Chain A
Amino acid sequence: MSLLDALQNECYQVEGIAGPDEERRRLLDLGVTPGEELAVVQSVPFGDPLVVMIRGMRLALRKREASWISVR
């Protein structure tokens, strides 16, 4: 499923990353790699961006960026 559908404060595993090459590469560089565990830890007013905890880092992702990340 998409990271957008993830429940807050539940732990998921990254399955894959879609999106344009350049953006995909940047997400991978930031450590959002398949197999890595992540959790949505905070929502922001408007629900966009969302704050994800991954590799011990808080990462603010726009919905557009989060929609490229599939999790399970």
Chain B
Amino acid sequence: MTEDRENLQIRILALSFLIIVWYFVSITGISPLPYPHNVAKTFFSILVNPEPVLGRNLLQHSFWSVIRVLSGASIAFLIAIPAGILTGWHIKLDSLISTVVEIFRPVPPLAWIPLAYLIFTGFSNPVQAAQIFIVFVGAFFPCLLSVREFARSASKELIEMARAFGAGDSEIMRYIIVPSSIPGILSGIRIGLGVGWMSIVAAEMLATSGSGLGYFIMVMYEVGGRAEEIISGIIAIGIIGYIMNEIVLKMEKRLMRWR
């Protein structure tokens, strides 16, 4: 309990320090940054009231960004988790796939944007498809690697012992490999969502879909004089990223205990 309280105190301290530095920068005019209280006012006002230029509030913009991330990331997880388990378990399969993975893994998701638009030209909604694809690329690799790592770390003695008692591949898979990769799956989901979230905001900035936080920030910048709105958008991105992370962390804790 005291530890919790201490933790909270440190958090508040960090936040107030940030705000003090921010005020310092605004007041001294080192940079024409708007005052924190003005940003707070703008943030809460456009959180629910539509912002006049685009006619939407921050919640609506956030909603669309989140939807795109969830769909792109879910597709990535559906492929990355089984692939991670299989490659973690089967050495030959791993060397087959890992060459390809190692080539594409270091490519930043944003580098895929122009190609994505070309690939999805024939789709009914190529912009949306391309954005989802970019999230997919961002979420896929961290998830795959994390799952593979844990699947690989399944106790070798346990597997040998199971074999000695006559267990088949499917039983080893089900009772040893999969359970030991669950922590990897959860952290993979967490990291994947995080990278996907970063990618979607950038992808929305480059091409227009008419909604989303990235689009909102870009339009605010172009119209000009809207530093408060831009920072509000950034705060929204931060908060949502934080919430997503926390949700998966909670899930992780609960599932671990359950196991």
Physical interaction between A and B = no
- Chain A residues with CB under 8 Å of chain B are none
